[in-house]
Amino acid sequence: MSLIGRIAAQFVLLIGVLSSNLTIAQTAEVFPSKTVKVIVPFPPGGGADTLIRLLTPPLTEAWKQSLVVENRPGASGLIGAELVAQSAPDGYTLLMGSTAAVTDKNISKFAPVALVSASPYVVVVNPALNISSIRSLIAYAKTNPGKLRYGSSGPGSASHLSAELFASMAGINLMHIPYKGTGQALTDLLAGHIDIMFAPAQTVMPQVESGKLLALAETGAKRSESLPNIPTVAESGLPGYSAVGWFGLFAPVGTPKSIVQKINQAVMGAMSQSKIRKSMMERGSDPASGSADDFSSFLRIDQAKWSKLIKENNIAVQ
């Protein structure tokens, strides 16, 4: 090819790149121009479902577009997650993910958008169990190995792994009863079919406040600002224990960074509203903050911790 030909080819390539970048910029500028759908990969009533429905009104108002929440439960959140992963990377189909739905095996399929909450779970028991503290729970489990039944929202979920971490550190054996979502596990806990849950505060605190469940402790390294009167597991008899359950928004991998940033800014703006913060805190959820890159960094650390636990204890996950 002649020098003139090469220059012409490079010019055409440059025009193509500039045109592509302009299209992406224009797409981000008008986003959203239609309804945004958020897939919750769990049944209604769980932590992910509760939080995204709290954020729906302010996001709808900010975007001047409808935001539709669709529950697609199954396989500990993996069915709904895969549905989003296969969607067009344009920001119009998002995932309200959690520890179970987004794992080190499938995270490459997603672009982290915004951390909504990384809060301690609450260890709750049915009052009929007649156990009122972490110490007495551990003591009972040691004299009755495998008898205590705990429910989770599915294998690999934070409610599962938090309990497994607790059992491992306490040197006890608990029976795992997995469900398709936290809401279903809660129903069985209230009915006495299971004994314990490590659950999102927004799911169980109404039942604690009504006296239907007893909160023994929260799972964070320190007391949550939203749950100041509930002691941590560490200060209640198991030093060094710490675990949080997180919820956050994801887009399919390949979604333009400009759109990811725009969604992140909208979510952070919604959670900065005093009424939204108050609603989250009342449900035991600490509002998060930070950029999409901050969320990515958080995920790397969190997943490394759970991967180590799973490997060392041969824990079965989906």
Report the pLDDT averaged over residues 293-312: 91
Report the pLDDT averaged over residues 127-155: 95
> Given this model, what pLDDT does residue 285 score?
84
Is the pLDDT assigned to residue 15 strictly greater than 70? no
Extract the runs of DSSP E, i.e. beta strands, from the chain.
36-40, 67-71, 93-98, 110-125, 149-152, 175-178, 196-200, 214-218, 244-252
**Global confidence as pTM:** 0.79
Provide CATH 3.40.190.150 ranges for the chain.
Answer: 34-119+245-313
Spatial contact of 318 and 106, defined as CB atoms under 8 Å apart? no
Q: Which residue has the higher pLDDT, 233 or 283?
A: 233
CA-to-CA distance for 298 and 121, rounded, in angstroms?
A: 17
Q: Topology of domain 120-244, per CATH?
A: D-Maltodextrin-Binding Protein; domain 2 (3.40.190)
What 3-state class would DSSP assign to 49? helix
Q: Place 197 in a pLDDT band, splitting at 50, 70 and 90.
A: very high
CATH fit for domain 34-119+245-313, picks 3.90.550.10, 3.40.190.150, 3.40.50.2000, 1.10.3720.10: 3.40.190.150
pLDDT tens-digit series, residues 222-273: 998 888 999 999 999 999 999 988 999 999 999 999 999 999 999 999 999 9
> Given this model, what pLDDT does residue 160 score?
93
Is the pLDDT assigned to residue 124 strictly greater than 70? yes
